Structure 1
Amino acid sequence: MRVRNYRLFFSGQIISNIGTWMQRIAQDWLVFTLSGNNPIALGVAVALQFTPTLFLSLWAGVLADRVDKRKLLMIIQGASCVQAVVLGVLDLSGVAALWQVYILCLTLGCTSALEVPTRQSFVAEMVGRDQVTNAVALNSTIFNMARIVGPAIAGFAITWVGTGWLFIANAVSTVAVISGLAMMDPGKLFRGAAVPRAKGQLAEGLRYVRRRSDLVTVMVLVFFVSTFGITYFSSLPIVAANVFHTGADGYGLLSTLVAVGTFTGAIMSARRGTKGRPRVRVMLLAALALGVFEMITAFMPTYLSFGIGLIPLGFATMTFLNTANSLVQTSVSPEMRGRVMGLYVLVLIGGNPVGGPMTGWMADAFGGRSPFYLGGAISVLAAVVCAIVLIRRGGVNLPVRRLGTGLRILKRDRV
């Protein structure tokens, strides 16, 4: 927080993320109501929102390495603002149809696929390599504070004013991010050497990761946990409406309880970030705990006990995501960071077009709790398998590679 550029970013993100979560809750509820409480329709909306990541995130990483990340983020935020305004106007005018919401979900997915790799790689540019771990954790703290406040506001606001005004509020909140980015001092950014436009840069990034077996292991674990384990976010409206028979306020409260856990996990990650580099052991234990807590929560018999079970599940989720993100960011060379983070976002979000519809289908066929059973089991299995792989390789933490002078330095720590 001593870095002025990061303070400006931090301030804008607080406001914008609250608006983003308000829109996410409102959008899910709008789809659910327009479809007559159909879980499959909600799964389709999730798939449309995340499908663009499959096609755009890798190229977004290449773009982030080539251009000014700050200016690119301002353009993307402007596009997100337009999407929210259009959705809000359609909803408030009473003409919103399910197919229109689907198209806007796809549009939002396109802007998100470009924004996330750029924002992730921009973090190190604002604070420098030595403070990346702490900055990543603070970003998660913002995100999860917004996840507490946003759903809490949305759950009750939907019952008072409907979903449309929440989309307009999110559009207004993007102005805070654009303003913060515009006020930054470009001369104080920790920029690496410019990467000139050339053929084969995407393939070069993929080869870089392929040669790093440590990165490959982390990304495989992130893929399975995010695709099958962390899809419980999409299951919450189904559980709220079809299992416990509550309204939008009940859904908002469940989302808030998850956020209590993720917010706490983000704070603890920030604290660990001040004490040294992230550790693989923490990531593996968090993935294992995520799966165990998810299965335990699935068996909770009442709305209250189910909600309480979401708190440790949220804590484990955020500990896992923060640690994995920090491990990747602190172990890659600056000129490759955009492309590596593009691949990271692909494995983190790219499985949602599969996980989203699968969650909806399972909830419709086997009950709203079923995605929790399967997601928890797969997360546990993935954590165990990756732990075995790492142990067989000597239990090595991610190496730090510095390629600026052509000299390769590897620092290996025990797990």
Structure 2
Amino acid sequence: MGSTTLRRSAARISSATGRSASFPRARGGARSRAGTFASSVSDDRVTALLPGLAPLGHRNYALYWVGQLVSMSGTWIELTATTWLLYQLTDSPFLLGLGGLFRAAPIFALALIGGTVADRVERRRLLLITQSSSVVTSLVLGALVVSGQVAFWHIYVINVLNATIAAFDAPGRQSLFPTLVPRGQMQNAITLNSMLFRSSNLVGPAVAGLLIARVGVASPFFVNAASYFAIIFGLLAMRIPAVAPRPRGSIRQELVSGLRYVRASAILPLILAIEASLSVFGHNQALITIFARDVLGTDAQGLGLLLSAIGAGAIAGMVLLVIVGDVRRKGAFMLGAGVLYAGMLLVFAWSRSFPLSLAALALLGFADATWGTMRNAIAQLAAADAYRGRVMSLIVIVSRGLTNASQLQTGIATTLVGAPGAATIGALVVAAVVGAVATRAERLRHFTAPSPRPIAQAAEAGGES
């Protein structure tokens, strides 16, 4: 029994480090074997009770995950502060929304190219460059605020720079996954990443509100600059074997063939259409900021609580998915989440009660998180391995690019019909698109998960996007 356990432990260590595991010969061999056996049994019990945490047992992924947790929290801190600062400087919903457009344009222009670059260069080096560049932009904006010379156009410039960095950073992160965990744990790793993103969305805005109220509006930018060093140090500490780049055609040829593949798919255009409706007409930083100050009459701390409510609901959604496990009818689940999202956005639009608004946003975050998880799963499973990178790049463009651009739509709509009217229109548009797809796209509505092995393979290939 003890030797079998030792072999299993060695296999786990070998899988995590990419090297053969050996155990030192110690005095009191029986005691050493007993201790190893007890430790292994404890590990097996933890894995059996919480299988979703298994990827954290691999050194490279643990370094990545912890670094990302700190860095993403800092990103949400800065994003909340940037939105608040821009609205304070301009007092204009339109100019606030224009800031989102400047965050979107580089993603539209460069995300597909960024995905191609991530397949051509050493990915850890690419991420070290993008993360180091982000440190510089945060320090520059913080220094401008401290000097008292900051103007709204400075924020626009920083938004463009940060979005340009993100266009290369996001595909690089996705491409790094295959080197961090074994094939069978890829799906759990993706789930943990989603929880990481949602957790930072919960913590970051609340911390930003406290920093702005207690320290000043410049402090979040310096906190974010410091947070990037967590992922930088994690990347440097990883042990990743060098992989020779695969020969490719021209970038233009790859982009065109990828777009043709998506257009010919029976599933992918529908997913992109629903995602586009949520991204353009759903909630965003600008909408919540305007509601916080002009409709609910609260301050920066209140804004932080509203945004954190979305994060709390999202965490609840991720926990539910971990408990339920793999959802068989992914298409129906995704469409149901879209209906819930539209309903909660409508409730938020007409709420004048701060507690009710918090509750509506929490349920909205729940729907958004579960929708996003199902969307990614379906996209990865529906895409052929050869085209998966370009497919996921399009998801990034629609989900991140359009979400940022939607702030301009929010600014225009709010100026014309007010914040409640803008949110009401958005909820109705989302409901109409989801309803149209649900009633007419039977193949997506009945999309189901394949057997476990293809799921694991699809998840691994999705990490190469």
TM-score normalised per structure 2: 0.80
Secondary structure class of the residue paired with 1:198: coil
1:134-149 to 2 correspondences below 5 Å: 134-149=188-203
1:101 aligns with 2:121: no
**2:104 maps to 1:50:** yes
- Give the distance between the partners of 1:201 and 1:60, measured in 2 at CA: 12
2:399 to 344, 348, 360: 348
SS of 2:57's equivalent? coil
Structure with the higher fraction of residues in helix conformation: 2
3-state SS of paired residue (1:323):
helix
Q: List aligned pairs for 1:183-332, cutoff 5 A.
A: 183-187=237-241, 194-199=245-250, 200-231=253-284, 233-272=285-324, 274-275=325-326, 279-332=330-383
Residue type at the aligned position of 1:4: R
Share of identical aligned residues, percent? 32
- Name the residue aligned to 2:436: 385
Letter in 2 for 1:21: W
**Change in CA separation of 1:285 and 1:123 when aligned onto 2, cut-off 3 Å:** farther
Supply the distance in 2 between the matched residues of 1:315 and 1:19 (Cα, whole angstroms).
22
Cα pair distance change 1:316/1:353, threshold 3 Å: closer
366 and 209 in structure 1: CA distance in 2 versus 1, 3 angstrom threshold: same
- 1: CA distance, partners of 2:114 / 2:369: 24
After superposition, what is the alpha-carbon deviation per residue over 1:154-197, rounded to whole angstroms, capped at 9, x for unaligned? Answer: 1121012212121011011001111112222213x9x8x84323
1:132 has 2:186 as partner: yes
Say whether residues 1:22 and 2:77 are aligned partners.
Answer: yes
Partner of 1:369: helix, strand, or coil? helix
Gaps of 5+ in 2: 1-55, 455-465
Q: Is the 8 A contact 2:179 2:240 kept in 1?
A: no
Distance 1:123 1:275 in 2: 20
Residues 258, 391 of structure 2: 8 Å contact kept: yes
Does the 8 Å CA contact 2:102/2:405 hold for their aligned counterparts? Answer: no
Is the 2:63–2:234 Cα contact (8 Å) retained in structure 1? Answer: yes
Match of 2:113 among 59, 75, 80: 59
How far did 1:268 drift? 2.4
Find the counterpart in structure 1 of residue 88 from structure 2. Answer: 33
3-state SS in 2 of match to 1:96: coil
Distance (Å, rounded) in 2 between the aligned partners of 1:282 and 1:147:
23
Q: What is the SS of the residue equivalent to 2:111?
A: helix
Letter in 1 for 2:167: A
Q: Where do 1:367-382 residues align within 5 Å?
A: 367-382=418-433
Distance 2:447 2:157 in 1: 45
**Amino acid in the other structure paired with 2:399:** L
- What is the root-mean-square deviation in Å for CA atoms of aligned residues? 2.4
User: Contact conserved, 2:106 with 2:163, CA < 8 A, in 1?
Assistant: yes
Give yes or no for contact 1:133–1:326 (8 Å, CA) kept in 2: no
1:116 aligns with 2:170: yes
Q: How many residues are paired up?
A: 396
Normalising by structure 1, we get a TM-score of 0.89
Which structure has the bigger radius of gyration? Answer: 2
How far residue 327 of structure 1 moved from its aligned partner, in angstroms, is 2.1
Unaligned regions of 5+ residues in structure 1, if any?
404-415
Q: Deviations over 1:86-113 (max 9, x none)?
A: 1111111111111111111111111112
Question: 1:111-148 CA deviation, whole Å, 9 max, x = no partner?
Answer: 11222232234335533554333222211211121122
Q: Is the 8 A contact 1:85 1:167 kept in 2?
A: yes
CA offset at residue 79 of structure 1? Answer: 1.0
1:392, distance to aligned residue in structure 2 (A)? 6.1
